[in-house]
């Protein structure tokens, strides 16, 4: 079987709840960022949410993107380490119901979780316990599914430590060996302050498509103007997809600047906006759409996901809607 995209990342069960700013302040976490926490701290957070409406779904950056690709009708396979516990079973069922396959078997242990606290301004504060997700190793990766894929997609969070960094590099090595394109997402601006040199080596080397937002692009290049940032990255990366929030995005392909307009919506929850944008691009370029058309699909998908709760589209964009969005 062939795949459009082989995604690798931290598999997490997202546990989401709307909270007031006051509760976030009481818990003592910085608003709008991801913080790694130990299991006891996460348990205390969940106790503070008692009585509130909570939802859960399969999550993690690359997993969200793979979900989106499958929802558009693409074929994907996901590599990440989950447990044989109840949460691991939930994660795998959730992904499989979307039509995705798994490249790594579950093992005994605790599946990773991320408690996502969403405030009225649509900002999300993620409190993550990686657990088994942080134990994906290079030996867990083989080339059987990679060989059958058009792209591999790697999340930057994997570079936060070992052994996941080595697992990501193994995916890149096998992709290049088998003539498979490499897409990489920076994932979070805070990663750049620690891994700027390594990310630059990837961009100047094996990465064929870089996903980043404007803050990340500025941190990578030291420039300020969005187009100048995109062009500077494009000097090294064959393709660039840089998001600008409500202002849309910029694609760089074959030396051309391709502006993509934003889609105006009322934001409820910004969780997964960048992940869904990446899904639109990757689905499009692996299924015969032009870069402009792929960008339009990505922009609409990202806008739709921020207008709802959760990182997965509640209402799948139908083939007819995709044709309308891309202008065919």
pLDDT bucket at 311, cuts 50 / 70 / 90: low
pLDDT higher than 90, residue 308: no
pLDDT digits (tens, 9 = 90+) for 91-123: 999 999 999 999 999 999 999 999 989 888 888
Taking CA 258 as the corner, what is the angle to CA 158 and CA 183, rounded to the nearest 5 degrees?
20
pLDDT higher than 70, residue 324: yes
Look at residues 16, 103, 106 and name the one whose alpha carbon lies nearest to residue 62. Answer: 103
Query: Tokens 């937002």 sit at which residue?
Result: 213
pLDDT bucket at 1, cuts 50 / 70 / 90: low
pLDDT digits (tens, 9 = 90+) for 180-198: 999 999 988 888 888 999 9
Cβ-contact 126, 34 below 8 angstroms: yes
Residues 6+ apart with CB under 8 A from 79: 6, 7, 8, 9, 102, 103, 104, 136, 140, 141, 145, 167, 171
pLDDT at 7: 98
pLDDT digits (tens, 9 = 90+) for 268-281: 777 678 999 999 99
Lowest average pLDDT, out of 21-35, 58-72, 170-184, goes to 21-35
pLDDT at 309: 67
Dihedral sign, Cα of residue 133, residue 134, residue 139, residue 143: positive
Cβ-contact 256, 289 below 8 angstroms: no
Dihedral sign, Cα of residue 221, residue 224, residue 230, residue 231: negative
Domains of the chain: 3-10+63-109+135-326 (3.40.1190.20)
> CA 223, CA 228: separation in Å to the nearest integer?
7
């Amino acid at each position: 079987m062939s795949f459009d995209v082989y995604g690798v990342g931290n598999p997490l069960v997202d546990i989401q709840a709307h909270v007031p700013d006051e509760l976030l302040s009481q818990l003592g976490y910085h608003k709008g960022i991801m913080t790694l926490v130990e299991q006891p701290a996460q348990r205390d957070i969940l106790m503070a949410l008692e009585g509130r409406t909570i939802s859960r779904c399969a999550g993690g950056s690359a997993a969200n993107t793979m979900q989106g690709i499958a929802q558009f009708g693409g074929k994907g396979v996901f590599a990440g380490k989950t447990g044989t516990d109840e949460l691991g079973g939930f994660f795998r069922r959730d992904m499989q119901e979307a039509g995705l396959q798994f490249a790594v078997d579950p093992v005994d242990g605790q599946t990773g979780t991320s408690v996502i606290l969403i405030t009225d301004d649509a900002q999300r504060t993620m409190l993550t316990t990686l657990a088994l997700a942080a134990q994906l190793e290079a030996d867990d990766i083989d080339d059987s599914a990679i060989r059958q894929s058009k792209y591999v997609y790697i999340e930057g969070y994997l570079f936060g430590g070992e052994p996941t960094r080595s697992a990501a590099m193994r995916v890149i090595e096998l992709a290049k060996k088998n003539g498979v394109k490499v897409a990489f997402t920076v994932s979070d601006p805070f990663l750049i302050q620690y891994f700027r040199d390594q990310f630059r080596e990837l961009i100047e080397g094996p990465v064929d498509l870089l996903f980043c937002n404007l803050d990340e692009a500025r941190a990578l290049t030291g420039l300020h103007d969005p187009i100048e940032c995109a062009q500077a990255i494009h000097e090294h990366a064959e393709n660039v997809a840089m998001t600008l929030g409500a202002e849309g995005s910029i694609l760089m392909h074959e030396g051309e600047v391709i502006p993509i307009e934003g889609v105006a919506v009322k934001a409820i929850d910004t969780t997964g906006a960048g992940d869904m944008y990446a899904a639109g691009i990757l689905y499009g370029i692996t299924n015969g759409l032009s870069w402009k058309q792929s960008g339009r699909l990505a922009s609409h998908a990202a806008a739709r996901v921020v207008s709802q709760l959760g990182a997965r589209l509640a209402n799948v964009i139908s083939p007819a809607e995709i044709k309308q969005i891309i202008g065919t």
